[in-house]
Amino acid sequence: MRLTGRLPMTALVAGLVAVLVSASSNLPLFVQMFAAVHFTSGQAVSSLTSMYLALGVLGAGLSLVYRSPIILGWNTAGLAVLIAEGPRFSPGEAVGALLLAALVLALLGLTGLFDWIARHLPRPLASALLAGVLLPFVLRGFMAIPTAPTFLLPMFAAYLLGRALVPRWAVPLALLVGLSAAVLGGTLHSGAAHVAGHLTLIRPSFSVQAILAITLPSVLLAVASQHLPGLAILSASGYGHVPPRPLVTLTGLAGLVAAPFGSITLNLGAITAAICTGPDAHPDPARRYIAGLSCAGGYLVLGLNAGALLSLASVFPPPLLQGLAGLALLGPLLVGREGTLVTEPRWREAALLTLVLTASGFSWLGISAPVWGLALGWGLAELRGWRERTRPAV
């Protein structure tokens, strides 16, 4: 099929919608992450530039090679980890931890260990880990309402209306209403002037604490909350012929190249992938790869204009960013919560422990809450299983 033929407009628009939804939903999280890891304004622009360029180039290549809508993205839950744990580390240590996370993900794909993890990582605990990481940000979003009710209440109302009528546009609609209310209230402020994207090398440094606090949770969350759902969406949409190993390997290698410039962990898209892989994108599955190309093109445009994108975000009042981040994470939080609803007592109690410990922000011996939550939850499940196996039959 030639690209010079008549382009399917529905697929083209689906890819652009995926870009708009993902960018508007996560921009407040990126702003918070850059502040948490102490990035300068130039390093923040470099982070967005490197991430979007890597996603655009690789996404276009994969969509063309496999003639499938391969939608790539970043680790949203990993952003939450960086916001929570980043203040403890220097920019170099954060970059070093992200570099190792990308290397581990690439090796998981190259060696086939990804398949082993996919089979052995308990779904209830993976879901609880995701929910526990995201829950504090959702709660903070709602807790921000009393600080700025004049624009947060209209924004939340717009989100609820959007979820009821046009679900995929709920977050952009909330952003539009919140910004409009902030403009009318005179609460917007001027930001630093950046226009084009650029790349700035950030020298990585490595510490055991950063590896335990950032690398390990980032890898687990990328596998559990991004790669596995992304592959499931591809398979359910009729693209089961696309092999998982090169997708996991190449996104890891792309992250490895982009991480020294500040990029976070890269992986398959999950929520945005559903926009581009179903019949709404195009009735003919063979034509939906155009959605992958248009999504990749949108990422390239954002990467080349990352400075302007970040300048736009810098005019937002902090409560607006906090509230929008909470709304944007409601969807992924719902996915995590649903995965913990199991009937087997062994996993139900372990999942609850994982969720609560992770959400608490508990940190000890330099090990972050997500690692403690997963380790202790899994340990409880194994002990319960051992007890059930050794209990004498009545």
User: Domain map of the chain by residue range?
Assistant: 9-148+187-329
Q: Exposed, middle or buried: residue 304 (CB in 10 Å: 0-12, 13-18, 19+)?
A: middle
Best mean pLDDT range from 4-18, 114-128, 295-309: 295-309
Highest mean pLDDT (candidates 222-226, 299-303, 332-336) = 299-303
pLDDT tops 80 at residue 366: no
What residues contact residue 5 under an 8 Å CB cut-off, 6+ apart? none
Predicted confidence (pLDDT) at residue 1 exceeds the cutoff of 50: no
Q: Could you tell me what percent of the chain has a pLDDT over 70?
A: 94
Of 313, 327, 294, 289, the C-alpha closest to 167 is 327
pLDDT given for residue 4 in this prediction:
40
Residue 64: phi, psi to the nearest 5? -70, -45
Contacts of 272 (CB under 8 A, 6+ apart): 18, 21, 22, 71, 73, 295
Q: Are 172 and 324 in contact (CB under 8 A)?
A: no
Enter the tokens of residue 215: 């690398």
4 versus 166: which is more confidently predicted? 166
Residue predicted with more confidence, 337 or 14: 14
Reported confidence tier of residue 56, pLDDT bands at 50, 70, 90: very high
Above 60 in pLDDT, residue 159? Answer: yes
Q: Using an 8 Å Cβ cutoff, are 245 and 108 in contact? A: no
**Which string of DSSP letters, residue by residue, matches 50-73?**
HHHHHHHHHHHHHHHHHTS---EE
Is there a contact between 374 and 122 (Cβ–Cβ < 8 Å)?
no
CB environment 370-389: b (16+ within 10 A), e (fewer): bbbbbebbbebbeebeeeee
Helices marked H in the chain = 9-36, 41-66, 76-85, 91-111, 113-120, 123-143, 149-165, 170-185, 208-210, 216-222, 228-236, 244-258, 271-277, 289-304, 306-314, 318-328, 330-339, 345-360, 369-390
- pLDDT of the residue at 306: 93
Q: What is the pLDDT of residues 206-256, one digit of tens each?
A: 999 999 999 999 998 898 888 988 887 888 788 888 999 999 999 999 999
Q: What residues contact 105, with CB distance under 8 A and at least 6 apart? A: 219, 222, 223, 248, 251, 252, 255, 265, 267
**Tell me, what DSSP letter sits at residue 268?**
E
**DSSP symbol at 392:** P
Q: What local confidence, expressed as pLDDT, does residue 390 receive?
A: 77
**pLDDT, tens digit (0-9, with 9 covering 90-100), for 78-136:** 998 999 899 999 999 999 999 999 999 999 999 989 888 877 878 888 888 878 888 88
Determine if residue 67 is left, alpha or beta; phi over 0 gives left, psi from -120 to 50 gives alpha, anything else beta. Answer: left
| pLDDT at residue number 361 | 78
- How far apart CA 215 and CA 103 sit, in angstroms, is 10
DSSP state of 253: H
Q: How far, in Å, CA of 230 to CA of 122, rounded? A: 17
| Coil, helix or strand at residue 246 | helix
Angle between helices 123-143 and 345-360 (to 10 degrees): 40
What is the spatial distance between Cα 83 and Cα 68, in angstroms, rounded to a whole number?
34
